[in-house]
Amino acid sequence: MSQSGVSERILFLRRRIAAIEARDATAARAPLTQDRARHCERSEAIQDSDVALDCFVADAPRNDGDDFLSPLFATGRGGLSEIFSARPPDAPAAAAFALAMALRAQAARAGGALVFIIEDMSAREFGLPYGRGLMAAGVDLSRVALIKVRRPREALWAMEEALKSPACAAVVTEVFLDARLYDLAASRRLLLAARRGGALGVLAPQGTPAGRVSSAAELRVEIAANRSAQPAPLASARPPLSPLAPFLWRLRVLKARAGLLGAPGEIDPAQWRDIAFDPERVAFRHAFPERLPAEARDRPPVAAPSRRRA
Amino acid sequence: MRFLSVFLPRLATDRLLRRRRGAAPEAFALYARVKGAERLTAVDARAQKRGLAPGMAVADARARCPALALAEADPKADAALVAGLADWGRRFTPLAAPDPPDGLLLDVTGAAHLFGGEAALLDDVESRLRALGFAARAAIAPGPALARALARFSNTRLVAAQARQEELDRLAASFPIDALVLEGEALAGMRRAGLRSIGDLLERPRAPLAARFGAQALTRLDALTCRIRDPITPRFEAPAFIAERRFPDGLTRQEDLAATLTRLASDLCPMLERAGVGARRLEAVFYRVDGAVKRITAGTSRPLRDPARLAALLAERLSAVAEEGLDTGYGFDVLQLSATEVESAVPPQTAFVAPPRGGETDEDLGDLLDRLGARLGLRRVLRLHPEAAHLPEFAIAAVPAAFGAPRPHTEKCAESAMRPLRLFERPEPIEAIALFPDGPPLKFRWRRVLREIVAFEGPERIAAPWWDDAPQQFTRDYFHAQDKNGQLFWLFREGLYGRETDNPRWFVHGLS
């Protein structure tokens, strides 16, 4: 992590602590609201089960600044964002991020349907969204529709139709896009449709580098799979998978409309950052590096020196 | 009951001559190879005038008429043409049936007044067919068999509905026995016995006739004289709910067609409402001036009887068809809209229903999915239904949205283990290297890239359903694995080492 990334994390922690202190002060005076009471219960449960990676995060109230994307989810606003994958193999991670954004939009709207539009080629390459996995992520399948399309043109048409409909909270489209097909005019149409329907459109284009596309989308991020897990010294002693594994990414903001990311200068958008999604609380947050397992005293001296330093 | 029979005496030759109208050859005939000899099967009017007839050897016909043009007979094309003409006949009545090999039967009961009476209807049918290039003769009678015989063997075109039985008998008496349309020996037997006409049969006592020529002969005889009711089998079941509009000049522009569909939908909806049903499947039929028939269908995900919604659905479908190329030709002059499948729909109670929160309803989602389905195809718009099954690929059924929405599930999925966010339609085989034959994989090669696993979770064992009589299936051990680049895979090993198989195979089943 480079210098600016570290300073950003410290900034975030400071803000978090300030938020907690402020909350404690108000909580002493005012009775707990229902919402906050639920948070407290849940955070206790998480602490008890020792699943929490970071108790500060588990304790934090909703939308206290970590959710830097929250302006995009303002109720009934509607918007269009593009999720590019850093490299072709990161496409499933980008799709998972798109799903997280859709869930976030659904929660912000307190209802509405999720529509997934998948091109056949994309389905062959990376499979179709799996209902059980979606259920585990907190999706209500009775509010989900899956649209399979043959061509990118059909995908854009279906996306526009779905965005216009008042039924949809979010529309996620995975498609192999051509810059000739998806240009300023096409994306402007999508944006206007999203504004009209108050839905969030999430486009996850595949097979196109982000630099090739110019569009009217409000937010464009690049997603890479999180590779925080360190290779173990012994092949037999591989660490277990993080329980949040599908919802950990490295993210970089390539483009954001003015005002979308808060006051300028606070954070560096173009910086790669680690980000996590908490399906329980339906919120994004910083992903702090996971704790490394404690090292045994009598381990054989074959471990890499970098690991000993850590 | 009123039936209209159309006889197309020169169907086979007309089929080919229609295309080169104006440049018709001197004489034209079709031939087929029968038992090694080439014989004529059909001749056109000019060839007939020169003394040619079906059954004549081709060599003889050539000798008589050197300018004879010949083509090979194609019974399949003829049958398809008759079926197509039966479709065309549906512009007059929904109950139209092909009458192979060379005719149509229409049930025009209660339909003739729409065309200005029965005589006018006969003229209309004949003149339209003539305009399409067919020689045709039509007749209307109280029974289909009688109408058929009239069109073929008589100059009478119309038998009044209130004709008495004696009159019908007198009319039928003049027909030859071919009018009975009997198969096999019976007809030849009658000829041998000297029975030439229907009148000969009617004079004879019934019992000996039945004993000699079979009960079927008598049934046909009764049908011919309208003594028994003899329904026809229409090519398509007549829809219960149908609306149509006719235009003196054909419509060619897509906007006109869409506007007409809107009006038809508003005609159809009161009928549906009166019957307390909603449409689940709609069919719009366009009759082109030159006889071609186009149909578009649209399905709905729930019973619908809102004209605006039905019209929007059809307009969507129409523009999808138009993109692929809707050949309007000289235009469509009859448009029909029918609800081919309906489902009972209780009118919603409006007074006491609270407006839904947030303004969006299941209705809106249903509308959206119907619209998408109309354009993309119903099979491409899916809902995910959770199923009680252990095998991951069967635990979720992707069902077309037209079959309805899944029930809202209340049970949290917490008890189930981690599942990937994406699943392949069929697992992709990989080469995996594991330390132990029943342990997690160390490395594997998927899509020609070697991946090194740095973290994993598992195994989760899922056994094949032993209660099924399925071909032998192996137990699967599933692992979640993360490779060095952070990608997540859902892998499984098929078969328990040493117990079920000695070299278990590995697959990637999902990604996250």
Contacts (Cβ under 8 Å, ≥6 apart) of A238: A232, B440, B453, B454, B455, B456
Tokens of B502: 């000695």
pLDDT of residue A7: 67
Q: What residue of A is the nearest CA neighbor of B390?
A: A132
How far CA A67 is from CA of A23, A53, B98, B348, B359, in Å, comes to 17, 17, 69, 42, 27
HSE, side-chain direction, 13 A CA sphere, residue B510? 22
Confidence of residue B43 (pLDDT cuts 50, 70, 90): confident
pLDDT of residue A42: 45
- Please judge whether B375 and A230 are an interchain contact, meaning their C-beta atoms are less than 8 angstroms apart: no
Say yes or no to pLDDT of A74 above 60.
yes
Q: When comparing pLDDT for A260 and A80, which is higher?
A: A80
- Please judge whether A225 and B361 are an interchain contact, meaning their C-beta atoms are less than 8 angstroms apart: no
State pLDDT tens for residues B65-123. 888 888 888 889 999 999 989 989 888 988 899 987 888 999 998 888 888 889 999 99
pLDDT of residue B215: 86
Between chain A and chain B, how many beta carbons pairs sit less than 8 Å apart? 205
CA–CA–CA angle B403, B409, B411 (5° rounding): 155
Instruction: Sort residue A111 into left (φ over 0), alpha (ψ -120 to 50) or beta.
Output: left
Q: What residue of B is the nearest CA neighbor of A106?
A: B358
Say yes or no to pLDDT of A190 above 90.
yes
% of residues, chain A, pLDDT over 70: 65
Cis peptide before B101 (omega within 30 of 0): yes
Q: Strands of A219-225's sheet, edge to edge?
A: A283-286, A273-278, A248-256, A219-225, A79-85, A200-206, A168-176, A113-119, A144-149, B381-386, B396-400
- Contact yes or no for B420/B511 (Cβ under 8 A): yes
Across A232-296, where does the E strand assignment appear? Answer: 248-256, 273-278, 283-286
- Please judge whether B384 and A141 are an interchain contact, meaning their C-beta atoms are less than 8 angstroms apart: yes
Chain B: nearest CA to A54, how far in angstroms? 20
State pLDDT tens for residues A217-251. 888 999 998 875 555 555 556 777 777 788 888 88
- CA–CA separation, A219 and A84 (whole Å): 11
SS3 B60: helix
SS3 B55: coil
Which residues of chain A does B362 touch, with a Cβ-Cβ cutoff of 8 Å?
Answer: 167
Which residues of chain B does A128 touch, with a Cβ-Cβ cutoff of 8 Å?
Answer: 398, 422-423, 425
pLDDT of residue A308: 44
Task: Report the Cα–Cα distance between both ends of chain B, in Å, rounded.
Answer: 67
State pLDDT tens for residues B47-70. 888 888 888 888 888 888 888 888
CA–CA–CA angle A236, A239, A241 (5° rounding): 130
- Contact yes or no for B464/A248 (Cβ under 8 A): no
- Please judge whether A127 and B361 are an interchain contact, meaning their C-beta atoms are less than 8 angstroms apart: no
- Contact yes or no for B63/B22 (Cβ under 8 A): no
- Contact yes or no for A169/A112 (Cβ under 8 A): yes
Q: What is the mean pLDDT of residues B17-43?
A: 82
Q: For this complex, say whether ipTM is above 0.85.
A: no
Say yes or no to pLDDT of B158 above 60.
yes
Say yes or no to pLDDT of B37 above 50.
yes
- CA–CA separation, B114 and A175 (whole Å): 53
- CA–CA separation, A128 and A141 (whole Å): 14
> Chain A, 180-209: which have a CB under 8 Å from a chain B CB?
none
Confidence of residue A1 (pLDDT cuts 50, 70, 90): very low
- CA–CA separation, B427 and B508 (whole Å): 6
Say yes or no to pLDDT of A4 above 60.
no
SS3 B341: strand
Say yes or no to pLDDT of A98 above 90.
yes
Tokens of B462: 């899922």
Q: Which of A59-63, A147-151, B303-307, B410-414 ranks highest by mean pLDDT?
A: A147-151
- Please judge whether A145 and B365 are an interchain contact, meaning their C-beta atoms are less than 8 angstroms apart: yes
- CA–CA separation, B394 and B406 (whole Å): 15
pLDDT of residue B424: 93
CB atoms within 10 A of CB B442: 17
CA torsion sign, B188 to B189 to B190 to B191?
A: positive
Q: What is the pTM of this model?
A: 0.70
Say yes or no to pLDDT of A39 above 60.
no
A144 to chain B, any CB pair closer than 8 A? The answer is yes
- CA–CA separation, B157 and A114 (whole Å): 64
Q: Which residues does residue B476 pair with via DSSP β-bridges, in sequence order? A: B462, B494
Q: When comparing pLDDT for A294 and A170, which is higher?
A: A170
Chain A: nearest CA to B252, how far in angstroms? 26
Lowest mean pLDDT segment, chosen from A9-13, B16-20, B289-293? A9-13
% of residues, chain B, pLDDT over 90: 17
- C-alpha radius of gyration, chain A, whole number: 21
> Chain B, 474-493: which have a CB under 8 Å from a chain A CB?
480-482, 484-488
Tokens of B377: 């195809």
Say yes or no to pLDDT of A203 above 80.
yes
Lowest mean pLDDT segment, chosen from A46-55, A135-144, A286-295, B313-322? A46-55
Say yes or no to pLDDT of A265 above 60.
no
Tokens of B93: 């009545």
- CA–CA separation, B331 and B286 (whole Å): 9
pLDDT of residue B15: 87
- CA–CA separation, B234 and A46 (whole Å): 69
What is the identity of the amino acid at A287? A
